[in-house]
Every structure is written in structure tokens, then in C-alpha cells.
Amino acid sequence: MFESQQKSTGTSYTTTATLLTVAFIVSPAVLIMSRPFGHVALGFAIGCSAICAALAWVNWRKSSRLSVPMVETPEGKGK
């Protein structure tokens, strides 16, 4: 049923989605909850968001090079 020669499409984007969630949702939420700490919390939140966004971009570039298996059958087979 399934061909054993098929290549993986490499669609494991869970890490990328997690890093983007931390960068744009969790880090600002922590910043809002830690209001009394002022500039220290702001610097930490901006730094954490920047690092997570950069790591997500690197991970996306690495995992987005998909090797999609061919749909076409080789010549001579299946005719």
C-alpha cells in the first residue's frame, strides 16, 4: 500500500510554532504581569522575544526545504 522508498516531507514545524508563541504571546504576557519591575522586565521581554523569533526563523529556514515525493511513476513501470 505505502511505498517504502518515499521521502519524508519534513513538515515538523512544532518547534517553530512554539518559538513564535513564546516570542509574541508568552513574553508580552509576562511583561504585562511583571509591571512593577519596569525597565529590567522590559529589556528581558524584548531580548527573549528577539531570541525566540530569531530561532524560529532559523528553524523555519532549515525545515522548510521540503523534499516532496514524486507522484509520477517511473517510465516502464505501471504501464
Over residues 39-43, mean pLDDT = 84
Instruction: Specify the long-range contacts of residues 55-61, CB closer than 8 Å, at least 24 apart.
Output: 55/19, 56/15, 56/16, 56/19, 56/20, 56/23, 59/15, 59/16, 59/19, 60/13, 60/16
User: In the predicted model, is pLDDT for residue 51 greater than 80?
Assistant: yes
pLDDT of 32: 84
Its pTM surpasses 0.75: no
